[in-house]
Structure 1
Amino acid sequence: MDESRAEGALTLPSRGRLRAEVVIVLGLSLGQAAIYAAIRLIERYLAPAPIGSQTSTLNPSQSAINYVDLLIQVLRIGFSLMPVALALYLLSANGTSALKRLGLTGRGRVWWSDIGWGFGLAAAIGIPGLGLYAVGRALGQSVKLNTSGLPDQWWAAAILLLSAAAAAILEEGIVVGFLVTRLRDMRWSVPAVIIASALLRGCYHLYQGWPMALGNVVMGLVFAYVYVRRGRLAPLIIAHMLLDSVAFIGPEIIPAHVLDSLGIT
């Protein structure tokens, strides 16, 4: 059930106020990331080394001092979720339950359904996505991804899992939950809303190369469509968290020769 259909009963801000909210939230989060990613892609093509030989490190170390690194990592994760807190605050104006509007509440049976959908979406997106990455690497148009730049410390795996959870909450909370909701509040058509959400998702992945950005646009189309149809954000967060957890932790347990064949370090 699409809970956003009940929006007619809500007292919404003016359209100008809604546009301002979207600009501010995106400017503080994924809209800003999209602009930097586009610039980074241009930089990669202008660099002497071909883009296929370049590397992008996710979750880099922040300090040579062990516990300082751990502290900064925890703070980084916490502060990264502040735009989501802002989005929830804005969506909860006039006593509205933002969590209910986004499909983040419900009884046990609903949550079990969300988990099932989450695993299904993760499989449907993750397996083709891995193939797309391999193709992009073969074409020399995708950068080599180092999914963990953390030191070999006892806390590294926990930070990687927390980072996966935070990325899932941030991206799905902003690019789907907040953006789709606010664009529909502004009476955008459903196809336009889905396309806008998907394009934003692709744009902030441009730093990985255009094949991965294109793959994320497809992921964005699927995720936004599922959200509009079901009115539940939880399955998307679960799916995204599973995908990133495998991407971050996988290189630690998958044989090195398999990773090398995919261009993953």
Structure 2
Amino acid sequence: MRSERRTTIVEVLLLLGVSLGASALWSILRIIERTTRNVALNQQSSQLNTSVTPDRPWLDLAYQLVGIGLGVVPALLALYLLRVRPGTAAPAPVEPSLGLARRAPLRDGADRRAPVRDGADRRAPARALLHGLGLAALIGLPGLLLYVVGRQLGITTEVQAANLSGAWWTVPVLVLSAVQNAVLEEVVVVGYLLTRLRQIGLHPWVAIAISAVLRGTYHLYQGFGPFLGNAVMGVVFGWYFTRTKRVLPLIVAHTVLDVVAFVGYTLAKGHLSWL
């Protein structure tokens, strides 16, 4: 038991070390650098989705697609690790797919390979979409308000959510980037991390707190407002996952939020000065 717990802790640290844990460390260094400048945070900017070679759109597209593809690898690795090491120390049966596969919810002693025959499970994609849209509305509107307030208080940078050259592929790439962010963050920081933290014996709310703080920390480079907003989002999403053991609605919600931010910024930045 102790050996398995140690192995799980090492696995978690290694996976985070090559993904969002590393992003959190870089983000901490970035906010230290920002706050030690002689320029207020709200006078600084954070650029997302930037062009690499704007003078050569075809090469820029290749850069963007490779970045998006590599960005989902840690999430795939997390799902693989849950499948090959489902663990025996969990307080409840573990679904290695985190609810992404169309399978009936696991019960003690149930066959993980059993096909879905429950009519209710056939409605799972529609239910995930509705739950995801609801979560997006719950998080998105207060999050936008917190961003505006943070800018006024001087604790949030100007977040330039999309800075791609105006090529024909700009909007599709922004949508793909939103999906990549959602899959990476929700699979790794919610589904995988909460599962593993519960397996090593942490209380659910302690696990949720760790997940939420991590989510806030890798957004800290944008300022303290985004740190707080993303941490609150992490608490809500973590609570939802502990209740449902389903990560797909969280991916839907996160994708919607990022699509609105990325594409909306691209379309509106010339008309709304406060953006």
TM over 0.5: yes
Question: In structure 2, do the counterparts of structure 1 residues 180 and 13 end up closer, same or farther at CA, with 3 Å as the change threshold?
Answer: farther
Question: In structure 2, do the counterparts of structure 1 residues 99 and 68 end up closer, same or farther at CA, with 3 Å as the change threshold?
Answer: farther
Query: 5+ residue gaps in structure 1?
Result: 1-10
- Superimposed CA distance per residue, residues 193-216 of structure 1 (whole angstroms, 9 cap, x where no aligned partner): 111110100100100101110111
- Superimposed CA distance per residue, residues 154-174 of structure 1 (whole angstroms, 9 cap, x where no aligned partner): 011111000000000000011
Structure 2 equivalent of residue 105 of structure 1: 101
- Superimposed CA distance per residue, residues 20-73 of structure 1 (whole angstroms, 9 cap, x where no aligned partner): 110011000110000111110011111122111111110111113211111011
Is the 8 Å Cα contact of residues 79 and 97 (structure 2) preserved in structure 1?
Answer: no
Q: Of 198, 206, 211, which residue of structure 1 is paired with 2:220?
A: 206
| Residue 13 of structure 2 is aligned to residue 23 of structure 1 | yes
Structure 2 equivalent of residue 8 of structure 1: none
Question: In structure 2, do the counterparts of structure 1 residues 140 and 16 end up closer, same or farther at CA, with 3 Å as the change threshold?
Answer: same
Question: In structure 2, do the counterparts of structure 1 residues 81 and 13 end up closer, same or farther at CA, with 3 Å as the change threshold?
Answer: farther
Structure 1 equivalent of residue 63 of structure 2: 72
Q: SS at the partner of 2:273?
A: helix
Q: SS at the partner of 1:56?
A: strand
Residue identity matched to 1:104: L
Residue identity matched to 1:216: N
Structure 1 equivalent of residue 150 of structure 2: 136
Is the 8 Å Cα contact of residues 103 and 233 (structure 1) preserved in structure 2?
Answer: yes
Q: CA deviation at 1:114?
A: 0.8
| Aligned-partner Cα distance in 2 for 1:49–1:194 | 35
Larger CA deviation: 102-111 vs 189-198: 102-111
Structure 1 equivalent of residue 234 of structure 2: 220
Is the 8 Å Cα contact of residues 206 and 212 (structure 1) preserved in structure 2?
Answer: yes
Taking only aligned residues, the RMSD between alpha carbons, in angstroms, comes to: 2.0
Q: CA deviation at 1:95?
A: 8.0
| Aligned-partner Cα distance in 2 for 1:88–1:69 | 30
TM-score, scaled to structure 1: 0.90
Residue identity matched to 2:152: A
Q: CA deviation at 1:108?
A: 2.7
Runs of 4+ in 1 over 4 A off after TM superposition: 94-101
Larger helix proportion of the pair? 1
Query: 5+ residue gaps in structure 2?
Result: 88-92, 103-120
| Residue 39 of structure 2 is aligned to residue 39 of structure 1 | no
Question: In structure 2, do the counterparts of structure 1 residues 236 and 95 end up closer, same or farther at CA, with 3 Å as the change threshold?
Answer: closer
- Superimposed CA distance per residue, residues 91-145 of structure 1 (whole angstroms, 9 cap, x where no aligned partner): 1116899865411123331121111100000000000000000000111111001
Residue identity matched to 1:133: Y
Structure 2 equivalent of residue 4 of structure 1: none
Structure 2 equivalent of residue 87 of structure 1: 78
